[in-house]
Amino acid sequence: MTDDVLDDVFAVIEDRKEELPDDSYTTSLFTHEKGENAVLEKLGEETTELLLAAKDDDRDEIAHESADIVYHLLVLLSMKDMDLEDLREELSERR
Ligand SMILES: N=c1c2ncn([C@@H]3O[C@H](COP(=O)(O)OP(=O)(O)OP(=O)(O)O)[C@@H](O)[C@H]3O)c2ncn1[C@@H]1O[C@H](COP(=O)(O)O)[C@@H](O)[C@H]1O
């Protein structure tokens, strides 16, 4: 499996940011009255849930919470007008 799915999900997030459709969870993050704090709080919550899943050795839950974190991280990057290239560059420089 490649990381194409990350590009696909990020592209959807960018579309939501542009079009702000009503029935979208992503839109609700971009338009939240708490501003970017809404996504920051979510990242905090999901990270705690990931730690609990890891302590329980629950592989399904680890995958679930990891996906929640990655999705909210992508929303945060989009909010900051960053993209996956910024992440890839940073990771590549560490090799
Ligand atoms: N990957 C995600 C994604 N991951 C998590 N979430 C939402 O993030 C929220 C997580 O908050 P909660 O923890 O309160 O919800 P939960 O599911 O009970 O979480 P757990 O307690 O189980 O961890 C839920 O409402 C999920 O629906 C996501 N919402 C959207 N996406 C992607 O974004 C695309 C666009 O979605 P919309 O913007 O809703 O159209 C989707 O097609 C997906 O590809």
Cα–Cα distance between 80 and 68 in angstroms, integer?
A: 19
Question: Would residue 10 count as lying in a domain?
Answer: yes
Model confidence at 3: pLDDT above 80: no
The pTM for the full model equals: 0.94
Cα–Cα distance between 6 and 9 in angstroms, integer?
A: 5
Q: Is the ipTM of this complex over 0.95?
A: no
Q: Which of 26, 45, 62, 73 to mutate to test the pocket of ligand 1 (most atoms within 8 A of CB)?
A: 26
Q: How many residues does the chain have?
A: 95
Question: Would residue 94 count as lying in a domain?
Answer: no
Tell which wins on pLDDT, 22 or 3: 22
Cα–Cα distance between 83 and 71 in angstroms, integer?
A: 13
Count of domains in the chain?
1
Q: What is the mean pLDDT of residues 78-91?
A: 96
Q: Which of 7, 12, 25, 61 to mutate to test the pocket of ligand 1 (most atoms within 8 A of CB)?
A: 25
Domain CATH for 48: 1.10.287.1080
Question: Would residue 78 count as lying in a domain?
Answer: yes
Question: Would residue 21 count as lying in a domain?
Answer: yes
- Domain extent, residue 64, equals 4-89
Question: Would residue 69 count as lying in a domain?
Answer: yes
pLDDT single digits (tens) 23-70: 999 999 999 999 999 999 999 999 999 999 999 999 999 999 999 999
With 0-12 CB in 10 A as exposed, 13-18 as middle and 19+ as buried, what is 29?
Answer: buried
Instruction: State which ligand 1 atom lies nearest to the alpha carbon of 65.
Output: 23
Question: Would residue 51 count as lying in a domain?
Answer: yes
Question: Would residue 63 count as lying in a domain?
Answer: yes
